[in-house]
Amino acid sequence: MIRLSVNINKIATIRNSRGGNMPNVLEAAINCEKYGAQGITVHPRPDERHIRYNDVREIRSKITTEFNIEGNPNPLFINLVLAVKPEQVTLVPDAHDAITSNHGWDTLKNLLFLTDMVKEFQQNGIRTSIFVDADLQMIEYAAKTGTNRIELYTEPYATEFPNDKKNAIEPFIKASQLAKSIGLEVNAGHDLNLQNLKYFAEQIPFLSEVSIGHALISDALYLGLEKTIHLYLDQLKG
């Protein structure tokens, strides 16, 4: 079964809008795990506008499912990941002022840098994943870094899905098949939701993991967190 990792950044965004500790980010992570999520994802940014570095440390000590830390590997991020030692680190090329991640790595241009990053994290027992577009050349060069996985940036799929789901999924099928053929495991994330997730999972059944935050947390406002997680897990069943 494809694993569901819940990105809890949006819960931290709500907390930070008022100060204090409501909603409690650590409690949310523990509850996501209790309700069936197989992983927790966080994406700390330098300005700590949602997840704070201290959140990452607290969550690490309290959860038992897979912990995935994603972000741009600047020195602060690298030090945090090496100190916390999550099961997985996902390298994302977002600018410090980006509202959200909006493209994958140019793995050809950044080959040496990414190779060094992958090596450093793997030497510390951390599985690596590189965030990429559904671009065959970028996937080929991601493999050259020695990474364990790629994470496909799925916003283009989500945007096109309501108009033509077959056309929307086609580049992601090709990208995933290539990745699998050259020894990479495949994760996916960004704008996946209850409308488009099942079809994505059916067409790419060998996915290892999807990371979902914004849509899932938004749905939870109406449906409750436990029910929402169960609904997302249902979409991933073969």
**Residue 183: helix, strand or coil by DSSP?**
coil
Q: Note if 96 is an active site residue.
A: no
Find the catalytic residue in 43, 50, 151, 209: 43
CATH code of the domain in which 93 resides:
3.20.20.70
pLDDT in tens, 61-92: 999 999 999 999 999 999 999 999 999 999 99
Residues 81 and 121 sit within 8 Å (Cβ to Cβ): yes
Q: Note if 190 is an active site residue.
A: yes
Q: What is the total count of domains within the chain?
A: 1
- The four Cα atoms 225, 229, 25, 70 give a dihedral, to 10 degrees, of -150
pLDDT in tens, 108-133: 999 999 999 999 999 999 999 999 99
Task: Write down the pLDDT at residue 103.
Answer: 73
Question: Is beta strand 185-189 parallel, antiparallel or unpaired with respect to 209-212?
Answer: parallel
Task: Provide Rg for the chain, Cα atoms.
Answer: 17
DSSP class of residue 69 equals E
Find the catalytic residue in 33, 66, 70, 209: 70
φ, ψ for residue 31, nearest 5 deg:
-70, -40
What's the whole-number mean pLDDT along residues 123-150?
98
Find the catalytic residue in 33, 50, 190, 209: 190
**Residue ranges making up the domain that contains 141:** 3-235
Nearest-CA neighbor of 33 among 67, 2, 57, 10? Answer: 67
Length reported for the chain: 238
Mean pLDDT of the chain: 95
Q: Which residues pair with 153 in a beta bridge?
A: 189
Task: Write down the pLDDT at residue 97.
Answer: 61
Query: Residue 144: what residue type?
Result: K
Q: Note if 70 is an active site residue.
A: yes
